[in-house]
């Protein structure tokens, strides 16, 4: 049998293939399409409010009765100090000026207008809505949340980018660990914001496999049967794909963003904190070049909330130079078929 079945049995799915939760790119429709392919769909809830999370979970449940994972961000929220307030004002002014110079009309929010949510309310929402799988990234859940979720029969999938993080997740009682290699697109799942571990997946995965007992999902660079087979040989029992689905029918990327994606060159894919204040892998553009390594980067999530309106305005203008197009290091054809078809094709290719 080609497919390991530990994770499939645990999560109630046929194939241990997981559609990556990519907030802003993956949609309810993408998660439903992944479930139709007998894989695990992921509903990206990021750091939404409890009410918004409930709304999306309800929408998902109307569309499928198959298992799916709710995915949340469990980051630390920095305290609002006088120094942060000052830096916010200067960063806001700099980015508004940059937008004006590039003919983008946008009014960025004041710090007081930004709402920042802790994940604890989302944990309660997941339990209330009877979601049975919760994946999370950017850190670890606190002990109380883990206990509460376990008491309610929720399977937990934590994300790590180092052996140290994997050991912490295992010790805290997480059921499955998602190992994210540095080649993965989008935000790093690292517990730290600054000194993130930059370890290639093919080096990281076997090290973690040797040191933890819980089953492992691997994420980063899987775009066909060969890459999936390679990480299977290194100990992965589940396979998370995101890059493969970026241009799919259900992707929230707009046509101009998909076109930019299809023209990407390897030297254009970089790690950057410029849009969100957390490291993410994506396509280098004018905004990144102007902001990266400057003093105009606030800690996450404040930079992310501040630049949100700029990205929306740039999307409306179909301007790829001021939107974050997240992408991994494995460049491929970026199929525009449906998520269901792309995943079924991958499964067939592997079984061949």
Residue that the structure tokens 């707009």 belong to? 254
The per-residue pLDDT for 1 is: 77
On the CB side of 62, how many CA atoms lie within 13 Å of its CA? 8
Tokens 């429709």 identify what position?
29
Residue 223 · residue 198 · CB < 8 Å = no
Q: 132 burial class (0-12, 13-18, 19+ CB within 10 angstroms)?
A: middle
List residues bridging with 155 in a β-sheet.
Answer: 133
Ranges of beta strands (E only) in the chain are: 17-19, 41-46, 68-73, 133-137, 155-160, 176-180, 186-187, 216-219, 238-241, 269-272, 280-283
* Residue 33 CB-half CA count within 13 A: 20
d(CA 196, CA 263): 28
Q: How far is C-alpha 54 from the geometric centre of its chain's CA atoms?
A: 19
Assign domain 1-77+116-251+333-352 to a CATH class.
alpha beta
Task: Name the residue with tokens 């197009």.
Answer: 325
Q: Which residues pair with 270 in a beta bridge?
A: 282
Contacts of 330 (CB under 8 A, 6+ apart): 183, 221, 222, 223, 227, 243
Contact indicator for 47, 72 with CB cutoff of 8 Å: yes
Measured in residues, the chain has a length of: 352
Task: Report the alpha-carbon distance of residue 289 to residue 274 in Å, rounded.
Answer: 9
Residues 238, 215: contact at Cβ < 8 Å?
yes
Distance (Å, whole) CA 307 – CA 92? 9
Predicted confidence pLDDT, tens digits, the chain (352 residues): 799 999 999 999 999 999 999 999 999 999 999 999 999 999 999 999 999 999 999 999 999 999 999 999 999 999 999 999 999 999 999 999 999 999 999 999 999 999 998 999 999 999 999 999 999 999 999 999 999 999 999 999 999 999 999 999 999 999 999 999 999 999 999 999 999 999 999 999 999 999 999 999 999 999 999 999 999 999 999 999 999 999 999 999 999 999 999 999 999 999 999 999 999 999 999 999 999 999 999 999 999 999 999 999 999 999 999 999 999 999 999 999 999 999 999 999 999 9
**Sign of the alpha-carbon dihedral angle for 254, 256, 259, 265:** negative
Q: What does the domain layout of the chain look like in residue ranges?
A: 1-77+116-251+333-352, 80-115+254-324
Strand partners, 158: 136, 177
Separation between Cα atoms, residue 285 and residue 116, nearest integer Å: 27
Largest CA-CA distance found in the chain, in angstroms, rounded: 60
Sheet-wide strand order for 176-180: 17-19, 238-241, 216-219, 176-180, 155-160, 133-137, 68-73, 41-46
User: Could you tell me where the beta strands, DSSP code E, fall in 47-116?
Assistant: 68-73
Predicted structure pTM score: 0.97
């Amino acid at each position: 049998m080609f497919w390991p079945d530990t994770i499939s049995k645990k999560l109630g799915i046929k194939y241990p293939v997981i559609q990556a939760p990519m907030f802003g790119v993956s949609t309810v429709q993408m998660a439903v399409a992944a479930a139709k392919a007998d894989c695990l769909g992921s509903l990206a809830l990021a750091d939404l409010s409890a009410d918004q999370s409930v709304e999306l979970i309800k929408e998902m449940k109307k569309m499928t009765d198959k298992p799916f994972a709710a995915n949340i961000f469990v980051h630390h929220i920095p305290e609002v100090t006088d120094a942060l307030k000052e830096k916010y004002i200067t960063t806001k002014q700099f980015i508004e000026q940059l937008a004006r110079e590039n003919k983008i009309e946008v009014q960025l929010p004041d710090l007081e207008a930004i709402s920042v949510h802790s994940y604890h309310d989302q944990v309660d929402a997941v339990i209330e809505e009877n979601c049975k799988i919760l994946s999370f990234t950017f850190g670890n859940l606190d002990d109380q949340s883990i206990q509460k979720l376990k008491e309610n029969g929720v399977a937990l999938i934590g994300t790590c980018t180092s052996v140290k993080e994997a050991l912490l997740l295992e010790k805290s009682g997480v059921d499955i660990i998602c190992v994210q290699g540095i080649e993965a697109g989008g935000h790093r799942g690292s517990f730290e914001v600054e000194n993130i571990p930059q370890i290639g997946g093919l080096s990281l995965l076997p090290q973690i496999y040797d040191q933890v007992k819980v089953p492992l999902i691997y994420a980063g660079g899987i775009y066909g049967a060969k890459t999936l087979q390679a990480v299977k040989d290194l100990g992965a029992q589940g396979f998370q794909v995101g890059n493969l689905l970026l241009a799919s029918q259900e992707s929230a990327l707009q046509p101009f963003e998909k076109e930019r994606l299809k023209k990407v060159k390897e030297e254009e894919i970089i790690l950057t904190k410029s849009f969100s204040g957390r490291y993410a892998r994506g396509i280098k553009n004018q905004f990144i070049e102007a902001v990266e390594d400057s003093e105009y980067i606030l800690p996450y999530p404040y930079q992310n909330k501040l630049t949100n309106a700029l990205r929306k305005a740039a999307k409306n203008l179909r301007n790829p130079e001021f939107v974050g197009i997240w992408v991994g290091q494995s460049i491929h054809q970026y199929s525009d078929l449906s998520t269901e078809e792309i995943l079924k094709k991958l499964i067939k290719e592997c079984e061949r």
